[in-house]
Structure 1
Amino acid sequence: MASVKKDNRLTASQSFLCTGFSGFLSKSVTSPLEVVRIKSQVGTFHCKRGFCQSFLLIYQNEGLRGFWKGNLASCLRLFPYTAVHLATYKKIVHLHMDELGFISQWRAILAGGLAGIAAALATYPLEVVETRLIAQNCRQPTYIGVIHTLSKIYRSEGLLALYRGFSLTVLGAFPFSIGCYAVYRNLDKIWQEPPFRFTPLQNFINGCLAAGVSQTLSYPFETVKRKMQAQSARLPHCGGVDVHFNGVMDCFIQVVKNKGVLSLWSGLTANMIKIVPCFGLLYTCIELCKQVCLYRNGYIISPLSYQLAPGVDQSLGPSELQELKRYLRNRNFDSGESSF
């Protein structure tokens, strides 16, 4: 059994901003690896000579700016994605909790998968925009900026083009959830101790391991989805096997027929390398932001440590704590005034 943990010392807006800002920073820092990964999945000429040569070719053809193409769309997608994901996850988990507030690990992971599908549906057009911006050459752009890309795709290809390949997100959610479940089911065997004794470093390694296994299992769906997103008569052929298909099954068949089954995992190296710094920055930044918020709320004595403030009831929520402080200040003021 796994309990759903939440720090009630943070407000909902603080939790949301901590997660959003941390995601923004981690995505921006690891954007070059994301660009290489997506170019490999789409099949541009930059990635035909291997992982290391891809960076050199992108730099030679597009400069440093080429490594941050589509990053704005990716970052803008974070905030609505996080909001929808959290709201949906809480509702699904609440339905499956027992009377003690616990939920099984399998159901928690399944709830995360369903919440991810709902969040992806709400933000999928921005993912299509990210793919189009990365697939093009930024020195000879077809699209200029997020808004221009959205409007151009909508005007020239219709609304459905902004959701092209979404079915693969749904299909990929199942192997992703299975991968997460398989890892978390065997953590006690890996570490030879129960989960409640895991250190922060062990939990970080667990997250990286779960992400690596689950993303590897769902990666073929991700590759085909990116190819479907990139297909456009207005997007120049970039040197891959193809960017234009007659549907999802045709895409699978053409990719396997022309480049073999392993081509469905194109860009996996960049994706695996990205996991550790991305997760590391994400968790580190979330913890730092959380410390700042806890300090502002009055629970800890410094934003640089987790040392608890003396005399503060840590079980109180932020609004309750502020109300208590106002009451004590008013009481001290009144007693001082009468004494005077």
Structure 2
Amino acid sequence: MSNRSLASEPKELTWLQKSHQRAKQDKHSWDFAIRSGIAGGVAGCVAKTAVAPLDRVKILFQTHNADFQKYQGSFKGLYLSIRDIYASNGARGLLQGHLATLLRVFPYAGIKFMLYDRVHHYLMPTKNSETSAMLFTAGATSGIAAVFLTYPLELIRVRLAFQTKTAERTNLLQVVRLIYHENSFRPPPPVVLPSSAQPTVSVSPPPIAGAAASSTPHPPPSAFSRYLYQIPLAPFYRGFTITVLGMIPYAGISFLTYGRLKALVPAEFGRDHRTKVDLACGAVAGVVSQTASYPFEVVRRRMQVGGVKRPSGMVGWKETVRDVWKVGGWRGFYVGLGIGFLKVVPMTSISFTTWQFMKRSFDI
């Protein structure tokens, strides 16, 4: 056989090339799901890293951390908070809990964007079949599934970011252990003052540093709460119900707004200015979705740190809503919203832009 005939024979495709072809041709294939998931995971990590310091301060504001309550309510307070954190712990303090964030964000964003692609293709196989209701459904469904599978990592991240006292800071493994053992309604052991002449006196243990003081008596836990918290992993899902309620408008409106805005961009302009279009559409989507879901986020953060303030029981969403209202009225549900915009607008823009860039790089 001549060299020419050998050269004319088609080369056998490698495994990677075959995988690429399957992903490009079949959006229901595992190859497409893996590539889409990696694209989403990378997008989430890049976006979260860009806004990590703002995220840390926002959590401290939302959870009414006692050391930072004096800074709430102004952009100057944001600057002073960042300055104090940096002065106390350096750049590492601004990124406290960020490793846990990345451990959560990669699977969370990967699952969310991957499921959105699959649900979108299933519900809306063509551009003409796209409707606002379908876009909202695809976004909400993917967001709920992603948050369910990664919620324990989110809770761990919030607990790490909530700590401000250097001497009392715990590492990732210690936080996991603390949360795991918050599954008992038994009261903490009393501190006994030894005295031979007087009866034994029990006093309550000192309040945990960083937890805002409250004189409001806590209602007794319900029978359902007692039963629920006997499940070993239940403490890792503090605030999960309110998170799902908030995820529906957040993810649904975010994908709906982004999809609708992208559809309004002329095809020629969209091809020539892809990055600008993605950034602009993502920014608007971030503003709209953040405004719609922010009260849910405030309640969720307060519930997530409930184990710090009450490790022997669960803090319910109704109780948390009452506490937020009592302290700040309706404005209490929007504490840190300005920081939220500063964080979510660039984060959403970068996330959608990186997601689209990665998909183009993977040619899917």
Provide the TM-score with structure 2 as the length reference.
0.65
- CA spacing shift, 1:69–1:100, aligned 2, 3 Å: closer
Distance 1:63 1:293 in 2: 38
**Once the 2 structures are TM-superposed, how far is the Cα of residue 138 of structure 1 from its aligned partner?**
5.7
Distance 1:100 1:162 in 2: 40
Distance 2:317 2:140 in 1: 22
Residues 290 and 344 of structure 2 are in contact (CA less than 8 Å); yes or no, is this contact kept in structure 1? Answer: no
Structure-2 residue corresponding to 1:34: 55
- CA spacing shift, 1:115–1:258, aligned 2, 3 Å: same
**Once the 2 structures are TM-superposed, how far is the Cα of residue 97 of structure 1 from its aligned partner?**
3.4
- For 1:217, the aligned partner's letter is A
Structure 2 unaligned runs (5+)? 1-22, 72-76, 184-231
Match of 2:97 among 63, 70, 77: 70
- CA spacing shift, 1:91–1:162, aligned 2, 3 Å: same
Distance 1:36 1:223 in 2: 13
**Once the 2 structures are TM-superposed, how far is the Cα of residue 63 of structure 1 from its aligned partner?**
3.0
**Once the 2 structures are TM-superposed, how far is the Cα of residue 113 of structure 1 from its aligned partner?**
0.6
Distance 1:95 1:293 in 2: 21
Residues 85 and 118 of structure 1 are in contact (CA less than 8 Å); yes or no, is this contact kept in structure 2? Answer: yes
**Once the 2 structures are TM-superposed, how far is the Cα of residue 267 of structure 1 from its aligned partner?**
1.5
1:155 aligns with 2:176: no
Distance 1:283 1:179 in 2: 14
Residues 23 and 78 of structure 1 are in contact (CA less than 8 Å); yes or no, is this contact kept in structure 2? Answer: yes
Residues 136 and 235 of structure 1 are in contact (CA less than 8 Å); yes or no, is this contact kept in structure 2? Answer: no
Match of 2:340 among 262, 271, 275: 271
Match of 1:164 among 230, 234, 238: 238
Structure-2 residue corresponding to 1:229: 304
Distance 1:256 1:65 in 2: 34
**Once the 2 structures are TM-superposed, how far is the Cα of residue 14 of structure 1 from its aligned partner?**
3.9
Which deviates the most, 68-77 or 51-60? 51-60
- For 1:8, the aligned partner's letter is K
Distance 1:95 1:287 in 2: 19
Distance 2:321 2:268 in 1: 44
Which deviates the most, 64-73 or 49-58? 49-58
Distance 1:170 1:267 in 2: 21
- CA spacing shift, 1:47–1:209, aligned 2, 3 Å: farther
- CA spacing shift, 1:136–1:250, aligned 2, 3 Å: same
Residues 47 and 53 of structure 1 are in contact (CA less than 8 Å); yes or no, is this contact kept in structure 2? Answer: no
Structure-1 residue corresponding to 2:331: 262
Match of 2:250 among 176, 184, 187: 176
- For 1:65, the aligned partner's letter is R
- For 2:48, the aligned partner's letter is K
Distance 2:138 2:82 in 1: 37
Distance 2:41 2:146 in 1: 14
**Once the 2 structures are TM-superposed, how far is the Cα of residue 152 of structure 1 from its aligned partner?**
2.6
Structure-2 residue corresponding to 1:20: 41
Secondary structure of residue in 1 paired with 2:24: coil
Residues 169 and 221 of structure 1 are in contact (CA less than 8 Å); yes or no, is this contact kept in structure 2? Answer: yes
Structure-1 residue corresponding to 2:322: 253
Distance 2:261 2:49 in 1: 31
- CA spacing shift, 1:182–1:27, aligned 2, 3 Å: closer
Distance 2:309 2:169 in 1: 7
**Once the 2 structures are TM-superposed, how far is the Cα of residue 221 of structure 1 from its aligned partner?**
0.5
- For 2:327, the aligned partner's letter is N
**Once the 2 structures are TM-superposed, how far is the Cα of residue 121 of structure 1 from its aligned partner?**
0.6
- For 2:24, the aligned partner's letter is N
- CA spacing shift, 1:285–1:170, aligned 2, 3 Å: closer
**Once the 2 structures are TM-superposed, how far is the Cα of residue 84 of structure 1 from its aligned partner?**
3.1
Match of 2:277 among 202, 216, 220: 202
The aligned length equals 279
- Cα deviations by residue, 1:137-189 (Å, 9 ceiling, x for unpaired): 261345312x432233113435211101111122113433664488469749x
Distance 1:186 1:214 in 2: 14
- RMSD of aligned Cα (Å): 3.5
Secondary structure of residue in 1 paired with 2:181: helix
Residues 46 and 58 of structure 1 are in contact (CA less than 8 Å); yes or no, is this contact kept in structure 2? Answer: no
Match of 1:60 among 56, 63, 87: 87
1:120 aligns with 2:147: yes
1:8 aligns with 2:45: no
Distance 1:283 1:139 in 2: 36
Distance 1:130 1:161 in 2: 14
- Cα deviations by residue, 1:265-293 (Å, 9 ceiling, x for unpaired): 11212221123432454455456655665
Which deviates the most, 82-91 or 15-24? 82-91
Provide the TM-score with structure 1 as the length reference.
0.70
Structure 1 unaligned runs (5+)? 1-6, 237-243, 295-316, 318-340
**Once the 2 structures are TM-superposed, how far is the Cα of residue 260 of structure 1 from its aligned partner?**
2.0
Match of 2:170 among 131, 138, 143: 143
1:107 aligns with 2:134: yes
Residues 26 and 281 of structure 1 are in contact (CA less than 8 Å); yes or no, is this contact kept in structure 2? Answer: yes
Quick one: percent identity of the two aligned structures? 31
